[in-house]
């Protein structure tokens, strides 16, 4: 179902008034790694909106590597995300980690995110597929393109065609960056599948100075959008501050993207 052989025309995924796919303006999703408090979310939403971001992100259920790291605000966080999105007129996306969180996430969010660590959580994929909500599916950190597309197949097999793929870097021997951004998957997936694909340069690099240039590289490679971590005070972030852009940094990236789009 995900294959272009089966479905030759590119799919444009419409989600909360935003369109991902061929012939559409690339979509910029931005916001903090984690929802921390009301002020942080409202400030982040204002910065994202002012700079031209189209979707607000923020994690309420966080898949942290260690159990002692901030695990997210849960349902309270979902409410703060929704409130901040509504305040600025931005649709919101957030990660769902477990089936028993789906109902609450669907109640508060416009797009479901399935994270790298859950790309092969097949039961979660099936239920997310059945929810009928648009799903942003992130590539597993050690997943081949074939496995990535097979995971997306689970969503489509439930009758859910609104699937957006997201490359977020893969695990390699290289430790200078958090992950290795596999940009060649963008043109490859565009050949192999009809689904839109976006790139997350924040988790791919783990380093703030690398984020803008890799975001632009992703768009040149043909990505249908980017997802960027933006925090009003990155140095105080409870999660992923080192890879988060400030509001100013994001505004400057958006200016550069605007200039670039004239040539794409």
59 near ligand PEP (CB under 6 A): yes
> Any idea what the Cα angle at residue 158 is, between residues 156 and 162, rounded to 5°?
45
What span, in angstroms and rounded, lies between the C-alpha atoms of 225 and 165?
10
Q: 126: buried, middle or exposed (CB in 10 Å: 19+, 13-18, 0-12)?
A: middle
Residue 231 lies near ligand PEP (rule: CB under 6 A): no
Classified as helix, coil or strand, 225 is: strand
Rounded CA gap, 73 and 232, in Å?
Answer: 18
Cβ 166 to Mn ion shortest distance, Å:
13
Token output for 131: 């929810």
**Residue number with the shortest CB distance to ligand PEP?**
115
Query: Is residue 33 near ligand PEP by the rule CB under 6 A?
Result: yes
Q: Give the H or E element holding residue 113.
A: strand 111-114
Provide, rounded to whole angstroms, the least separation between the CB of residue 34 and Mn ion. Answer: 7
* CA geometry: angle 18, 23, 25, nearest 5 deg: 45
- Token pair, residue 9, equals 């025309």
Q: Which is nearer to Mn ion, 43 or 240 (CB)?
A: 240
* The binder of ligand PEP chosen from 79, 82, 168, 231 (CB under 6 A): 168
The pattern of x and - marking residues 181 through 200 that bind ligand PEP according to CB under 6 A reads: -------------------x
63 near ligand PEP, judged by CB under 6 A = yes
140 part of the interface to ligand PEP, by CB under 6 A: no
Should residue 60 be labelled a site residue for ligand PEP when binding is judged by CB under 6 A?
A: no
Q: How many residues bind Mn ion (CB under 5 A)?
A: 2
Stretch that binds Mn ion, among 31-39, 69-77, 137-145, 191-199 (CB under 5 A): 31-39
Question: Is residue 95 involved in binding Mn ion (CB under 5 A)?
Answer: no
Which of 240, 245, 249, 254 is in the footprint of Mn ion by CB under 5 A?
A: 240
| Dist CA 47 CA 88 (whole Å) | 10
């Amino acid at each position: 179902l995900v294959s272009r052989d089966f479905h030759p025309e590119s799919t444009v995924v419409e989600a909360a008034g935003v369109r991902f796919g061929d012939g559409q303006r690339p979509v910029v999703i931005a916001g903090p790694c984690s929802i921390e408090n009301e002020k942080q979310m409202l400030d982040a939403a204002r910065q994202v909106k002012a700079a031209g971001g189209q979707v607000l992100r923020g994690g309420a259920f966080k898949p942290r590597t260690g159990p002692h790291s901030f695990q997210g605000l849960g349902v309270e966080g979902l409410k703060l995300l929704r409130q901040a999105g509504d305040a600025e007129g931005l649709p919101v996306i957030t990660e769902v980690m477990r089936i028993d969180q789906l109902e609450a996430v669907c109640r508060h969010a416009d797009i479901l995110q399935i994270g790298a660590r859950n790309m092969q959580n097949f039961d979660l994929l099936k239920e997310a597929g059945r929810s009928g909500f648009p799903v942003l599916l992130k590539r597993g950190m050690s997943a081949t393109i074939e496995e990535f597309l097979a995971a997306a197949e689970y969503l489509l097999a439930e009758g859910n065609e609104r699937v957006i793929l997201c490359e977020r870097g893969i695990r390699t021997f290289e430790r200078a960056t958090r992950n290795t951004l596999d940009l060649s998957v963008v043109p490859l997936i565009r050949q192999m599948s009809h689904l839109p694909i976006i790139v997350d340069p924040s988790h791919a690099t783990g380093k703030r100075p690398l984020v803008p240039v890799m975001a632009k590289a992703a768009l040149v490679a043909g990505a249908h959008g980017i997802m960027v971590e933006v925090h009003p005070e990155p140095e105080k972030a409870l999660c992923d501050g080192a890879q988060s852009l400030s509001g100013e940094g994001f505004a400057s990236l958006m200016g550069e993207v605007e200039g670039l789009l004239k040539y794409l």
